[in-house]
Every structure is written in structure tokens, then in C-alpha cells.
Amino acid sequence: MKFVEEFQNPRLVRSLLEQIRSLAKRNVTLMEICGTHTMAFFRHGIRGMLPKTVNVISGPGCPVCVTPTNVLDAAIEVGRRKGVILATFGDMVKVPGSRSSLEIEKALGSDIRVVYSALDALRFAEKEDGKMVVFLSVGFETTSPGTACTVLDAVQREIGNFKLIVAHKLIPPAMRALLEAGEVKVDGFICPGHVSTIIGSEPYEFIPKEYGIPCVIAGFEPLDILQSILYLLRQIDEGVSKVEIQYKRSVRPEGNPVAKRVMSEVFDVCDSDWRGLGRISESGLELKERFREYDALSIFDLDLGEAVEPAGCSCGEVLRGIKSPTECSLFGRACTPSKPVGPCMVSSEGTCAAFYRYSGGATKR
């Protein structure tokens, strides 16, 4: 396990910071759109090291956070059905739905299991063939190829007791929606490294072309992040805008063609609801017609009732970058990681959880 400390070299950090300082002449707002970036900024104490003129905000980059309440309600309802094992990622378990959460349902007797990948859920299906295993599949382009492979695997091995609730989303359309809404002025985007490893740099080209905003695809180590900020400041300083790849050791301009092929083999692009952003056209994925038998929602007849958003919760504004978590009246009082009201406080990559954790929220309580 090399290449961790190498990317945290204090001498190189200092040198990058000096270069950043010399370019940070006027106030700029940079937006990152990846939960892992959100956490990395806090974990390494990067915000405090940047010049005051460089303001970094978080966008809708946390997959748990942007998953709308009705998807959770559906998963909760499916999990209640007899003989069902509902498997999903750890972060999803605590997110409050309209009237319950998967964590509460588990305590009440539903068989809810935490997995690290869709393949783990498929393994459950293989082992327990008397049960129906339903995988609640959320995430961006990073996780959807894995889900797609799992579907193909299930088809090939004729595992019929494996179903999915597919709630995958696509990042570039959300960025366009943010820009179209025009609520927040962004001078540069720190684009997500994992997502871009799959999709490459091309899908962001519209941002500099149509909106004149620089983009840099960034890695996750401190040196990656600082170098990306430097690249953005350089573009801003020179008055140019283009998509640059800083995270070259993982991201190629064309992305990962195999992953992209598998995704398009299994999924169709569809309109999708985002928490905080509303319905965005062509921003989600759904199973193609020929895989419909794996779609849990078309098998179970669900009567969900209306999705209820938590009162007073500002997750929507936080996800759009127009509110800082501390500006939410619930933050740190009614809403804490142990008793979260909104999803941004639940996910380890949620902006509110990051703010809470790294501002000493729990000890101050």
C-alpha cells in the first residue's frame, strides 16, 4: 500500500500553497462535487491552509444525500415484505425516510444487510435461495458499472431471487442543472476523480464551452487537491477555461471504455429526481427493458403514500451550495450524526456530517 504518504509530502504541500497564494489575488468560489473530496478537505485540514480569498463549497456529490425520500420509502416497504433480504451500502441505512429508516426497520425485524458491493448482495441470493434478495443500488458513475456487472452475472448464472431498486445518478447533468439554476456563482469546478475514472473528461466539456467555467478533475490526496486548486486559479488568472485532468494516474480523457460499455448494456438513461435539485432530465439510470425482471419495483406492488421531507431541513440548499450547514437552524441541535434529520448529516461524506465532525460538534454538545 504505497502512494499515500508520497501524496502528503509537507515540502511539496508548502510549495503548492505558495504558488496558490501568489495567484489568489481576488475572491474566487470553487465547488467540489464529490463526497470523498468533501471529507478530504476536512480530514487534512486543507480549508484552513488556503488563502482567505479561495472559498471552497460542496455541491451535490454525496450519493446518499441526493437520493430522494421516495426511494428510501420504497426500500423500507420492500424490506418489510416476508422472505426479503434488503441489502444496501452502509450509509443508506441511517437515512430517514418519510416515516422510518432502514435502521429502525432492522431493529423492528426486517432483514437489512450492509454490503460493500452489489456482488456481495448477489452472493446472499446464491446462498439463501429461499429468500428474495433486493439490492438498493445508489451511487454515481463510480458504482453503477459494478451494479451493471452484477446484473449480467445474475442473468448468466440464472440467479432469479436477486432484484434491484436502481437509483443511480449521473453527475454531469446535475452540474448543468446547478449552472442553469444560477443560484450560486462558481468560478471553477473541482471535478470528481472516481466518477471521471469511468466517464473520462469529455462529459464536462460543455462547462467551459457553454458557461466559461474552468474544470479540473482532481485526485483525493492533499497534493492532488492543492494542485487542482492551483490549476483552476491558473486558468482563472489567464482568463481561459478548459477541462484539465490533474488525476492523471487514474483518469484518461476517454474514461474506462469497458465500464461504460457495461453500463450502457444494462441501463438506459432516464429523468431522475434529486433531493434538493428536483427532477433533472436524463440524469439517472434505469434497467433496460430486457432486464426488467430484475427490477424490484416492478415486481412488488407498493403503496407508498406521499413522501414527506423533514421540516426545517436545509439539505436541499446545502446540496446546491447556497447554504453552509451552519446556516441551517437544525444543525448541531435538532440534527446530529446520532440523530440525523437530513441525509447530509447521515452519510460520512455528507457536508453537514463533515462540518459537524470536524468542528468538534460532539464534544461541544
Partner 1 sequence: MTRQLIERDILTRFRSLILRRLDDSAVFRIGDLKLAYSTDSFVVDPIFFRGGDIGKLAVCGTVNDLAVSGAQPVYMTLSLIVEEGFPMADLRRILDSIRDTATKADVEIVAGDTKVVGAGGVDKIFINTSGLGIVIREVSGSNARVGDKVIVSGFVGDHGIAILSQREGLDFKVPICSDCAPLNSLVSLILKTSEEVHAMRDPTRGGLATALNEIAIQSGVGIRIYEESVPVRDEVRGACEMLGLDPMYVANEGKVVVFVSSEDAPKVLEVMRGHEHGKDSQLIGEVTDGPRGTVIMKTRIGGERIVDMLTGEQLPRIC
Residues of this chain that bind partner 1 (CB under 8 A): 1-2, 4-5, 8-10, 13-14, 35-36, 39, 42-46, 48-49, 63-64, 87, 89-91, 93-94, 113-116, 120-121, 123-124, 138-140, 142-143, 194, 222, 336-338, 347-349, 356-363
Least spacing, CB of residue 52 vs partner 1, in Å: 15
User: Which lies closer to partner 1 via its Cβ, residue 192 or residue 208?
Assistant: 192
User: Which lies closer to partner 1 via its Cβ, residue 140 or residue 294?
Assistant: 140
User: Which lies closer to partner 1 via its Cβ, residue 24 or residue 39?
Assistant: 39
Least spacing, CB of residue 223 vs partner 1, in Å: 8
Q: Quick one: cell of 278? A: 428536483
Distance between CA atoms of 199 and 201, rounded to whole angstroms?
Answer: 7
- Scored b (16 or more CB within 10 A) or e, 272-311 reads bbbbbbeebeebbbbbeeebeebbbbeebeeeeeebeebe
Burial of 83 (0-12, 13-18, 19+ CB in 10 A): exposed
User: Which lies closer to partner 1 via its Cβ, residue 103 or residue 237?
Assistant: 103
Q: Cα angle at 232 between 229 and 235, to 5 degrees?
A: 150
Least spacing, CB of residue 56 vs partner 1, in Å: 13
Least spacing, CB of residue 198 vs partner 1, in Å: 10
Distance between CA atoms of 340 and 61, rounded to whole angstroms?
Answer: 19
Distance between CA atoms of 16 and 333, rounded to whole angstroms?
Answer: 38
Q: Quick one: cell of 188? A: 471553477
Least spacing, CB of residue 92 vs partner 1, in Å: 8
User: Which lies closer to partner 1 via its Cβ, residue 239 or residue 360?
Assistant: 360
